[in-house]
């Protein structure tokens, strides 16, 4: 999952050999992960 820094669109899938935003053709994207909620129980 990537996010374009230019148009701020979410890019679900991207070819790692061809990193480019399909919306604005920007080559600057952030690799982002969906936030994972993790519950920690202290016993
Ligand atoms: Zn873009």
Please state the rounded mean pLDDT for residues 9-37.
88
Terminal Cα distance for the chain, rounded: 35
pLDDT at 5 over 80: yes
Residue 22's nearest CA partner among 35, 33, 13, 34 is 13
Taking the CA atoms of residue 21, residue 26, residue 30 and residue 31 in that order, the dihedral angle to the nearest 10 degrees is 30
| Res. 26 pLDDT band, cuts 50 70 90 | very high
Please state the rounded mean pLDDT for residues 5-30.
92
Please state the rounded mean pLDDT for residues 34-43.
78
What is the model's pTM? 0.65
**34 alpha carbon – ligand 1 mean position (Å):** 18
**17 alpha carbon – ligand 1 mean position (Å):** 17
**39 alpha carbon – ligand 1 mean position (Å):** 34
pLDDT at 35 over 80: no
């Amino acid at each position: 999952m990537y996010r374009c820094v230019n148009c701020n669109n979410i890019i679900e899938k991207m070819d790692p050999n061809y990193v480019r935003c399909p919306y604005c053709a920007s080559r600057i994207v952030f690799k982002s992960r969906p936030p994972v909620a993790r519950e920690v129980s202290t016993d």
